[in-house]
Amino acid sequence: MNTSLYQQNAVLAQAIRASEQAHNERARLFLCIECDGALGFGEVAPQPYALNGDPSLEQVLRAVRGALARLEAVASREGSLPEWSRVARFSSGSPRENVAMALVEMALLDRELKASSSAIGDLWPQCFETPTQATVSLLDDVPWRVDSSAARVRVKCAPGVIEDSALERLASLSVPVIMDYNCSATDDDGVRRQLDVIQHVVDVAAVEQPYAVGNVIDHARLAAVVDVPISIDEGLRSTRDLRYIANYGAATMICVKPARVGGLANARTLIAKAKEFGITAYVGGFFESPFARGVHRALARSCVSEPSDIGNVVIEGDGEAESTVVDVSFGVEPSRGMLAGATRLSKNSSGES
């Protein structure tokens, strides 16, 4: 087994400011696993620093080293690589390990599909024509770039007075919006006052994560007094979180980000369980490359009909050169040129498998 870990620093063509963070540059980690002549890729795009329960890039890198050591130990004991669907069980469930295991799991799945000359549709048949969701911000003056194919727009916001110019920007949208507070709300009144104003100019599909991670009580109270759905994003990492959300009536929508919840297998489980609770799920992302967005697109089209973060992220430079089309697996993989231009963080070889 050979593994190589790469880091690409991508500058977003459209900077997006959230309540406590400006998204203008994102580090993307790529893992290549090669075994018995077949290789697979995984990708995650951690935040630069820890925020709202999500780990920092450095925390994830440390966890990836541990995850690869664990993978090598399992392969050595068993004489072969573990099946991709087992990997989620190797995580302790901590935020950093969830992201690390999501990276390993994606690479193993990609490799398995390529080794058997299979396409992801053979494993996950497409059930939906899942539309895309775009992301913009009311918290800066950067011109919005919303693709005409987007069926919904996530709007980064925070409590406070909304300027007339911001309302004009909202009014220019012809599709529903999700108002994304990123845990910045402190009371119901601030959210309700904003909603009263915003709903006069645009269709609000949901209010996303107004309160802190784990605060199901305040989310449930707000859900009872507003006439739009509440969605949980940062507060969803496990089936336990989902049960709390359902039991408290804290939300009727959830954003499932595979890297945050520990990978694709866990994401599929959460989406299925959400349906049992009558909660609507959509797939989110962390500004990944066209490769991981292609993986998430396949996940979404097999599981959800809601608009999801499955459109490609536009970056400065030649974004098309980030990926290469292939005729198996997910239909796309990181390009050799992009990997050659990325920083190789580690390369390890083992003769055990």
63-98 pLDDT per residue, tens: 999 999 999 999 999 999 999 999 999 999 999 999
Whether residue 153 sits in one domain with residue 101: no
Burial class of 164 by CB neighbour count within 10 A (0 to 12, 13 to 18, 19+):
exposed
Whether residue 79 sits in one domain with residue 136: no
Whether residue 149 sits in one domain with residue 64: no
* Lowest-pLDDT range of 178-182, 280-284, 311-315: 311-315
Whether residue 282 sits in one domain with residue 206: yes
Burial class of 12 by CB neighbour count within 10 A (0 to 12, 13 to 18, 19+):
middle
Whether residue 265 sits in one domain with residue 133: yes
What is the average per-residue pLDDT within 239-252? 98
Determine the pLDDT at residue 184.
97
Task: Tell whether 139 is covered by a domain.
Answer: yes
Domain count along the chain? 2
Across the chain, mean pLDDT equals 95
What SS3 state is found at 352? coil
- Closest alpha carbon to 6 in 32, 45, 38: 32
How many other CB atoms sit within 10 Å of the CB of residue 219?
Answer: 26
Whether residue 103 sits in one domain with residue 141: no
Q: How confident is the model at residue 212 (pLDDT cuts 50, 70, 90)?
A: very high
Whether residue 195 sits in one domain with residue 291: yes
Please check the confidence at residue 124 and state whether its pLDDT lies above 90.
yes
CATH classification at residue 199? 3.20.20.120
Task: Tell whether 323 is covered by a domain.
Answer: no
Structure tokens at 149: 């194919």
Q: How confident is the model at residue 348 (pLDDT cuts 50, 70, 90)?
A: confident
Q: How confident is the model at residue 142 (pLDDT cuts 50, 70, 90)?
A: confident
Whether residue 270 sits in one domain with residue 127: yes
Whether residue 240 sits in one domain with residue 138: yes
pLDDT in tens, 259-282: 999 999 999 999 999 999 999 999
Residue with tokens 């090598």: 72
Task: Tell whether 322 is covered by a domain.
Answer: no
What is the average per-residue pLDDT within 178-188? 97
Decide if 164 contacts 217 (C-beta within 8 A). no
Task: Tell whether 173 is covered by a domain.
Answer: yes
Whether residue 114 sits in one domain with residue 130: no
Determine the pLDDT at residue 312.
92
CATH classification at residue 76? 3.30.390.10
Structure tokens at 159: 């409590």
Q: How confident is the model at residue 320 (pLDDT cuts 50, 70, 90)?
A: low
Helix extents (H) in 199-288:
216-225, 239-248, 258-261, 264-276
Determine the pLDDT at residue 350.
65
Tally of CA atoms within 13 A in the half-sphere of 243 that contains its CB: 3
Determine the pLDDT at residue 349.
72
Whether residue 69 sits in one domain with residue 150: no
Task: Tell whether 251 is covered by a domain.
Answer: yes
Task: Tell whether 175 is covered by a domain.
Answer: yes
Please check the confidence at residue 353 and state whether its pLDDT lies above 50.
no
Helix extents (H) in the chain:
57-78, 95-115, 120-123, 164-171, 188-198, 216-225, 239-248, 258-261, 264-276, 290-303, 336-341
Alpha-carbon distance of 127 to 303, in angstroms, equals 7
Structure tokens at 339: 């990997």
Residue 1 carries which side chain, given as an amino acid letter?
A: M
Whether residue 128 sits in one domain with residue 105: no
* DSSP state for residue 157 in the 8-state scheme: -
What is the span of the domain harbouring residue 246?
122-303
Task: Tell whether 314 is covered by a domain.
Answer: no
Q: At what angle do helices 95-115 and 57-78 cross, to 10 degrees?
A: 50
Task: Tell whether 289 is covered by a domain.
Answer: yes
Q: How confident is the model at residue 339 (pLDDT cuts 50, 70, 90)?
A: very high
Please check the confidence at residue 59 and state whether its pLDDT lies above 70.
yes
Q: How confident is the model at residue 319 (pLDDT cuts 50, 70, 90)?
A: low
